[in-house]
Amino acid sequence: MTDLRWYGWGYADKTYSLDQRPAAWNFLRAALDLRGDETLPACDFDSIRLRAPRLTSAQLDALRQIVPETKTDTRARVLHAYGRSYRDLIRLRRGEIPCPPDAVVYPANEDAVARVIAFCAQNDAALIPFGGGSSVVGGVEASDDASSRGINVSESNTVTPRDAASDRVTIALDLARLNRVVALDEVSQTATIEAGMRGPDLERELNARGFTLGHFPQSFEFSTLGGWIATRGAGLMSTRYGKIEALTQSVRVATPRGIVETRAVPATATGSSLLQLLVGSEGALGVITRATMRIRRLPKTKDYRALLFKSFADGVAATRALLQSDIVPAVVRLSDEDETRSFFSLREESPAWMEVVARVYLRVLGGFGYSFERGALMILGFEDDAAGAKAGQAICKSHGAFDLGRGIAEVWLRDRYETPYLRDVLMDHGVLVDTLETATTWSNLEQLHKTLAVTIADAAAQTGARALVMTHVSHCYRDGASLYVTFLARMARGKEIEQWETIKRAATECIVANGGALSHHHGVGYEHAAWIDRENSAVGMDALRAVKHALDPHDVMNPGKWLAARPASGSVDAAIEYQERFWNLPR
């Protein structure tokens, strides 16, 4: 396996430079008030000193009896200490890894997984299932503070956080070796796949048989089937293929109480959904070991193109009209004016003659009221659906869209897994960069979009920075869509995490207070945990915490994350206060 970038995204030998994008830095410098001298280099890996693994040699021997491939070296522990959130990358660059996992195990099969769980229960250790490690919500963090915040069910059955047990051993369970397609049913179009299989391997095997899962999240290169299911992920083409919970026919989960497997049938009326209880459980109820997934024949034709609307509002109206007809696009990705402008400013350098042609083209477009400065760019893709493509494009044109052809869409498709690499380049240059997402109904979408953008900009201003906030609509439904927000700002050096928390907290509060989902596909982890009672109501969360206690009575599984956080009361202040205490941060 090619070496991974320990402090950032992806392969160490791969990057996404802005050097061939001549307008990029000028645009960013102006938009973010960059002064040109900001850098935040990563520390020297060899300077990192982790605390010694807290396993006794007897414990380590016992663990190696179960999984000979148990690692305690610095590299393995660093690579499994965090996910890939902005908070994580800042800490990694600084070399701040006070609570790495004590060991990383690579079990080869479900039996070994179950035995590692039993080992943890017997040794009062915490176990963190680890797939691709691409969580941006702290879902795989091996922190003491996080891992010790488990739940206890007292006699009166009220759930309260238990006291921190900072000496609790923490083990990361990497599922990389559970990576087989176990069975493929061509008749029913389903495949039973082990949870640790990564996107590219999974698609390669399915493609060889003529099928696809159709799940292509931005983390595709590294993330795993189990991680997608555990977090309720969404692929870029989810409008056609469905979110992962719709693609999952059944799951198999190793819990501390034993194996739970749901029935592999297309639909049921057998009470509350056990399947949808396990899907999204974020490692807190057990380790997903395999799942039977709905797959489809590989598409024979694709039609991806870009369209330009005169305004985001026009584009939203078209997107809604499209979704509420019976047309099913693979992708409808509509950028707002700010994202459209940025997309254009960050474009690749073209040969000089093309730049001349482009300028003429843009002037002509401008004459008709279209502009990359004030317009809204849409990527509209269809697969195996020429009639739908035609009808969808017609709807867009009836809302004033100009068809830009296939070129831009092809660049987007080509680069869709590359942009996470850009984050590292921006951070190298002292730029705070993060994304967040929500989903809401069509009637609430534009209001939430505006409020959220203003909120993020205001919060950044509080930290002394001018923010660039860009949003797109994607993952569309008949009743609404997700909003995906990217924000950039000049780093507040020395206070990078506090700055980011100020913005993240304001944005999350804005989403929850304004009718958005706490998350559409990133999950809860601990970053969103302080709001989960408001999302589900305190009583609703009591019900889910009861499930946690029933399946994981010793709080072995991924403790301290979404099912653990419990504000003293349901109020916002309490939630925020809780989060601050949780992170032990100054107000």
Instruction: Looking at residues 479 to 498 of the shown chain, list those that interact with its own copies (rule: CB under 8 A).
Output: 479-482
> Least CB distance from residue 255 to its own copies, whole Å?
6
* Coil, strand or helix at 192: strand
Residues 526-545 that bind its own copies (CB under 8 A): 528, 532, 535-537, 539-540, 542-545
Helices 496-513 and 572-583: crossing angle in degrees, nearest 10, is: 150
Considering beta carbons, is residue 91 or 290 the nearer one to its own copies?
Answer: 290
Under rule CB under 8 A, residue 192 binds its own copies: no
DSSP 95-125: T--SS--SEEE--SSHHHHHHHHHHHHHTT-
Would you call 301 helix, strand, or coil by DSSP?
coil
Q: Please state the closest distance from residue 418 (CB atom) to its own copies, in A.
A: 23
Instruction: Provide, for the chain, the percentages of residues in helix, strand and coil under a 3-state DSSP scheme, each rounded to the nearest 5.
Output: 40, 20, 40
Task: State in angstroms the smallest separation of the CB of 204 from its own copies.
Answer: 22
Q: At what angle do helices 86-94 and 419-428 cross, to 10 degrees?
A: 50
CA-CA distance, 565 to 137, in Å (whole number)?
Answer: 14
Distance CA 124, CA 118 (A): 10
- Rounded to whole angstroms, the Cα distance separating 105 from 407 reads 45
Q: How far is the CB of 185 from its own copies (least distance, A)?
A: 5
Of the candidate residues 177, 294, 374, 495, the single one contacting its own copies (CB under 8 A)? 294
In the bound state with its own copies, the residue whose beta carbon lies nearer, of 166 and 207, is 207
The nearest distance, CB 462 to its own copies, in angstroms, is 27
Residues 221 to 240 in contact with its own copies, rule: CB under 8 A:
231-234
Tokens of 517: 């989902």
Nearer to its own copies, 5 or 333 (CB): 333
Which residue stretch of 116-124, 279-287, 351-359, 465-473 sits at the interface with its own copies (rule: CB under 8 A)? 279-287
Which of 5, 215, 341, 475 binds its own copies (CB under 8 A)? It is 475
User: Minimal distance in Å, beta carbon 161 to its own copies?
Assistant: 17
Find out whether 154 and 160 touch, Cβ atoms under 8 Å: yes
Site for its own copies in 157-176 (CB under 8 A): 157
3-state SS record for 470-495: EEEEEEECCCEEEEEEEEEEECCCCC
Tokens (6 digits) for 249: 């026919």
Size of the site for its own copies (CB under 8 A): 97
Q: Does 260 bind its own copies (CB under 8 A)?
A: yes
Report the nearest approach of its own copies to the CB of residue 81 (Å): 23
Q: Which is nearer to its own copies, 22 or 242 (CB)?
A: 242
Per CB under 8 A, which of residues 328..367 are in contact with its own copies?
A: 328
Which residue, 22 or 515, is less far from its own copies as judged by CB? 515
| Residue of 453, 513, 528, 459 lying closest to 484 (CA atoms) | 453
Minimal distance, residue 253 CB to its own copies, in Å: 9
Print burial letters for 337-368: b (CB count within 10 Å at least 16), e (below 16).
bbbbbbbbbbbeeeeeeeeeeeeeeeeebeee
* Spatial CA neighbour of 519 closest among 185, 280, 260, 173: 280
Q: How far is the CB of 410 from its own copies (least distance, A)?
A: 23
Among residue numbers 116 through 135, which ones bind its own copies (CB under 8 A)? none
User: Smallest gap, in angstroms, from Cβ of residue 280 to its own copies?
Assistant: 5
Tell me the closest approach of the beta carbon of residue 95 to its own copies, in angstroms. 31
Q: H-helix or E-strand containing 460? A: helix 442-462
Question: Which position among 255, 335, 499, 579 is part of the footprint of its own copies (CB under 8 A)?
Answer: 255
520 binds its own copies (CB under 8 A): yes
Region 556-585 residues binding its own copies, contact defined as CB under 8 A: 562-563
Residue 579 CA to residue 326 CA, distance in Å, equals 44
The residues in 432-461 that bind its own copies, with binding defined as CB under 8 A, are: 438-444
Nearest to 239 by CA among 305, 323, 339: 323
Asked whether the beta carbons of 126 and 556 are under 8 A apart, the reply is yes
45 to 84, contacts with its own copies by CB under 8 A? Answer: none
**Roughly what angle, to the nearest 10 degrees, separates helices 337-345 and 22-32?**
140
x/- map, 201-220, its own copies, by CB under 8 A: --------------------
Query: Binder to its own copies among 477, 513, 514, 572 (CB under 8 A)?
Result: 477
547 counts as binding its own copies under rule CB under 8 A: yes
- CA torsion sign for 387, 390, 396, 398 is negative
Encoded amino acid at 544, one letter? L
Select the residue interacting with its own copies from 64, 204, 359, 478 (CB under 8 A): 478
| Residue 508 Cβ vs its own copies, minimum distance, rounded to whole Å | 12
Which of 88, 110, 282, 336 is the binder for its own copies (CB under 8 A)?
282
